[in-house]
Structure 1
Amino acid sequence: MNLPKVVADLVETQNSFDSVAYANCFSETAVVFDEGKTHNGKKEIERWIADSNERYKATIKPVGFEEKETESLLMAETSGNFPGSPIVLTYHMEIADGLIQSLKVTG
């Protein structure tokens, strides 16, 4: 599967539980929507993913990728320490200048 560099980097850093490198995939003003919460800015995103990594130990395996007009969709089998694992989640991303501007994770 041919993924844009920042998406491939996001997958790699998630699977190695590297929250600093994960956050570096985002712009300084990026926004993440996950589990009913909003996380604003790179530092908050780093804290969110570090906490998520500690709680869930989730890894992702891309199963599909689609680019639309303003949005990129990564469908990934997500496995970890949470009920219903594994599950296919969709990562809705807006990407600009090689960085993720927004990410929304849906089931």
Structure 2
Amino acid sequence: MPLELPPPVAAYVAANARLDVDGMLEPFAADAVLLDNGAAFRGHAELRRLFEEAVVAVKAIFTPDTARREDGRLVVEGPAHGDFKGSPIRFTYRFTLEDGAIKALEIRA
């Protein structure tokens, strides 16, 4: 049974499955912050570069299998498969949503 995710998160996950950078960016606020294993990326230009280099280049597709609310954030977990060492790797994504957009995302392996 597919997870029921809020629209911006569902849009991000669906775009990631297509390796669609524009679609992955669309649900993020213009000033969004993404923390990827401690490295910070701010705004659409930096997020685009991250998605092109660390997602599309290695065909990394995140397939969430659990979701819960924790400390005001949506915590989504699941494996990512792709052309990278150790694939698949299980990730935890912590989304902060604001005004119908992804305001912040923290990703940890």
Q: Structure 2: 5+ residue runs without aligned partners?
A: none
Instruction: Please state how far the C-alpha of 1:36 moved relative to its aligned partner.
Output: 3.4
Cα separation, 1, equivalents of 2:21 and 2:37: 18
Instruction: Give the structure 2 partner of residue 63 of structure 1.
Output: 65
Instruction: Give the structure 2 partner of residue 27 of structure 1.
Output: 29
Cα separation, 1, equivalents of 2:57 and 2:37: 13
Instruction: Please state how far the C-alpha of 1:18 moved relative to its aligned partner.
Output: 0.8
Identity of aligned residues (%): 27
Q: Does 1:44 align with 2:11?
A: no
Instruction: Give the structure 1 partner of residue 75 of structure 2.
Output: 73
Q: Does 1:103 align with 2:105?
A: yes
RMSD after superposition: 1.3
Q: Secondary structure at the match of 2:65?
A: strand
- Opposite residue 43 of structure 1, the aligned amino acid is A
Instruction: Give the structure 2 partner of residue 14 of structure 1.
Output: 16
> How many residues of Structure 1 are paired with residues of Structure 2 in the alignment?
107
Cα separation, 1, equivalents of 2:107 and 2:34: 8
Instruction: Please state how far the C-alpha of 1:76 moved relative to its aligned partner.
Output: 1.7
TM-score, normalised with respect to structure 2: 0.90
Runs of 4+ aligned residues of structure 1 deviating over 2 Å after TM superposition are none
TM-score, normalised with respect to structure 1: 0.91
Contact 1:23–1:43 (CA under 8 A) maintained in structure 2 = no
Q: Structure 1: 5+ residue runs without aligned partners?
A: none
Instruction: Please state how far the C-alpha of 1:83 moved relative to its aligned partner.
Output: 1.6
Cα separation, 2, equivalents of 1:98 and 1:14: 19
Cα separation, 2, equivalents of 1:55 and 1:43: 17
Instruction: Give the structure 2 partner of residue 87 of structure 1.
Output: 89
- Deviation larger for 48-57 or 70-79: 48-57
